[in-house]
Structure formats: structure tokens, C-alpha cells
Amino acid sequence: MHVRELPWIEPITAMQKLAHRANLTFFDSAASNELLGRYSYLSCDPFSTYKVVDGRAFWNDEALDGDPWELLRARLANYPQEYRPDLPPFQGGAAGFFGYDLSRTLERLPAQRTDLGLPQSILHFYDVVVSFDHPHRRCWIVSTGWPEQDPARRRERARGRAKEFAALLAKPKPPAAEHTVAVGTWHSNFHREDYVAAVRRVINLILAGEVFQANIAQRFSARLPTLFDPVGFYCRLRSLNPAPFAALLRYGMLTVASSSPERFVKLDGRQVETRPIKGTIARSADFEEDHRRAETLLNSEKDRAENTMIVDLLRNDLSRVCTLHSVAVPVLCKLESYASVHHLVSVVTGELETDGDALSLLRASFPGGSITGAPKVRSMEIIAEIEGIARDVYCGAIGYIGFNGYMDTNIAIRTVTIEGDRAVFHAGSGITALSDPDAEYEETLAKAARIFDAFRAPGAS
């Protein structure tokens, strides 16, 4: 591994300098602090690409036979990398998205319509990562030399690639399109009365004993104007709705722009952490009203029950791959505040079994219970029946699995998918027996508000 420290550069500026490169992945701790979002990472020009399409794996567009999870594990094993504790944890590896519909490789679910035609997962294999430590304002180019297998040639490749990236980052920032062009009419797959009826249906299923809760989302879509700039849009989104687990993926005609506040699952050595969010209330510009709303959320019987049910689900998921009695809940229903909403957040931790790895952890817990419901499989069946159209990237996970075995992923909420001239995003709400159907519909709009704002041209009302 070749490591080169650079003078501090803001991650968003570095991203804009590399935005024109192939298959850019930017894990952006736009709202950073020592505990959450300490690091940001930037990669491009991968040496290989792994995809899953309709349950079948592809390596550089060559179809592979076998279980896609095991095939990914085998590919990662070709590039073993020691962990350097003096650097940010992602030091080269596979990065991209695990779409919600990758769950169809794990469970048999009702068929759903899809219109974007996206793979269920895209992971690029990056030999070079530009990493950023926000609180200490340090920046490194970490270059592994993979996929070269000969040790001498690998060292030479690592040095050469680090030099290449340093030269790219030393160039002046190109004149970026800082502003977006206003988008026209948005369409949802639910009218208000349809969504309210869907909530009532879920409540009836809960009262019938089929589930404890299920998360139902409405999907917004719009055509984009010719001059729309996805990178400019992302910059506007992160400024309006900064989040600790934000991300920008630029893969040809496909752009995924996420401002997720939620960690799905993190593996740090053998230590596992997940941070489910359940319970949301819109913020107010008035200080006293905002405080009152926060207190309302903290004392909400419905939201605390919802959060606790998902904590139990995640404890069960982690217990499948963690050592006996290691799974714990150090934080339960803590208030976290973001630009437009307050959330209730819990933390579930564990110690991964010695024969486990990032993929066994991901497989045991995918997709995240906070965006399915409980019990998970029946909730996913109900989601498929009611929503009727594939979630694609939404409610999957965006993140990395390092060659060193470390992993960090978000829950892909507050996430926009741009494919060609079309933009799609979802906003959902967790339904329990105590849900008010109209309030659940309003909650989806509160979650969507900052995304709608980001699509408006600056200065537009």
C-alpha cells in the first residue's frame, strides 16, 4: 500500500475536481462530528465492477454462476489488505449500492413492476481512495496497487496511481454548475386518499396478527429538463439537508444522490453497530415550537413502540452472526435533530463471530429492519403488495466493504435516483396499530420536503 498525505482540501471541492472521472463514488459526511460522519471518502476509475442483475452476478459484464453473495466474497478474497489503524477505515475495496430488491436473492417475494431497469447491486472495486478526517482536517491518497498480483509491480502501480490522483486533485476546480434547473411536475404512485387507505389496510393486518408494523412509501418521479446537472443538484441537496451518511454515486447515466441520516450496519474489526431510526416529526423555524415538537416526539407512545420493535428485530438479526450475549442496546430512543426533521434513534451493537465477515453480517441483516417492519419477511410481502413497484436503490444500502474486511453502510433513505432524464425518490412511514393515517401521510411529505426544495431552482418559491 502506498499512502500520500495531501494538504487539506474540502471533500466537496475534491469531488468536483474528480466529477468527470469514470464511476465516481463519494461518501460524504456532509454533517460531520467526532461520533458520526467523521470521515469522507472519494473514489473513481475502478479496476473492476461487480453487479447483480435479476439475481445473477456479473464481473465486468461477464455472467457468473452461483450465489451472488458467495461470488462477491470470492472476488474480495482475491485482494487481501492489511488494516492500517492510523488511516480512515476505508482503505480500498468494493463500494456502491445494495438495492432493496437485492433482498429477492434472500427471500421469495411477490412480483413487482419495475420501470428503471437498474441492477439490484453495483459495486465498483477501487484500488485508490482519497480519504478525509474532518475533525483533524487531514487528507490522504491511499493506493493499494490492486489488481496487480506481482508484489514489485503492485508497489509500482500503487505509487503511479497515487501520483495520478495527486495530479488530478492539484488542478483548479472546474467551473461547476452550482445551480440546478427547476424541475416540472412531480407524480406520486399514491394520491393522498390511496395512501391513507393503504395505512388503514396495514392497521387491519396488524390487528389481524400478521405483522407488528410495516413501512409504506410513496414514490415521486419527474422528467428532468435538458440542462439539469446532477452534480449541481447534489451540492444543493447537501447544503439544504446535510447528513452524516450522505453519498453521491455517478455511474454513467445513473446518479444516486443520498442525504441519509441513518447508518445501516458498520463492521469495525469485530465490532458491529447499527443505528435504526424510527420516529420522525417535522421541525419548526420557531424555537419554542421546535422544542415542543421535539418533546412531543420523545414522549410519543406510538413512535417509541415502533422504535423498540425495530430494535428487537435488529437484535435478532445481529444475534445470528454475533457471539453469544454480545448484542446490546447502549442507546434507546435518543433524539437526533436534522435540518428539517427530528428523529428517534437507537444503537444496537455486537461482536461478530470469529468465523464471520462483512458479507455474513450484511446477509444476516439485509435489508434494514427500520425500513421493512416486523416481522421482516411478512412486512416485505405486504410492502410489495401495496406499493406495487420496485424500490430499486431506495431502502437498500450505500457503502463499502474494504479489502481489509471493514464495512460501513447507510440506509438509502432521502435518496434520489437519476437515470437519464428521469428522477425518482421515495418517502415512507412506519405504520403501527396506533398510527393516524393522515399523520402518516404528512410524515412522508415532511421527509420529502428538503428533496423537493433541492430540485427547485435557487430563488424559486
Please return the burial class of 435, using the count of CB atoms within 10 Å of its CB with bins 0-12, 13-18 and 19+: buried
Q: Using an 8 Å Cβ cutoff, are 42 and 18 in contact?
A: yes
3-state secondary structure of 416: strand
Q: Of 103, 105, 100, 104, give the one whose Cα is nearest residue 116.
A: 100
Q: H-helix or E-strand containing 53?
A: strand 48-53
| Residue at 340: amino acid letter | S
Q: Of 374, 371, 379, 366, give the one whose Cα is nearest residue 321.
A: 366
Cα dist from 311 to 11, 24, 240, 344, whole Å: 33, 34, 30, 12
3-state secondary structure of 141: strand
DSSP string covering 205-268: HHHTTS-SEEEEEEEEEEEPPTT--HHHHHHHHHHHS--TEEEEEEETTEEEEEEE--EEEEEE
**Catalytic sites, residue numbers:** 262, 278
The interaxial angle of helices 192-207 and 376-387, nearest 10 deg, is 150
Per-residue burial over 140-176, b if 16 or more Cβ lie within 10 Å, else e, is bbbbbbbebeeeeebeebbeebbeebeebbeeeeeeb
192 grid coordinates: 393522498
Q: Using an 8 Å Cβ cutoff, are 179 and 237 in contact?
A: no
Dihedrals φ, ψ of 154, to 5°? -65, -45
Cα dist from 409 to 188, 216, 406, whole Å: 28, 22, 11
Q: Using an 8 Å Cβ cutoff, are 63 and 136 in contact?
A: no
In sequence order, the 6+-apart residues with CB closer than 8 A to the CB of 13 are 173
Per residue, the 3-state secondary structure of 339-374, as one string, reads CCEEEEEEEEEEEECCCCCHHHHHHHHCCCHHHCEE
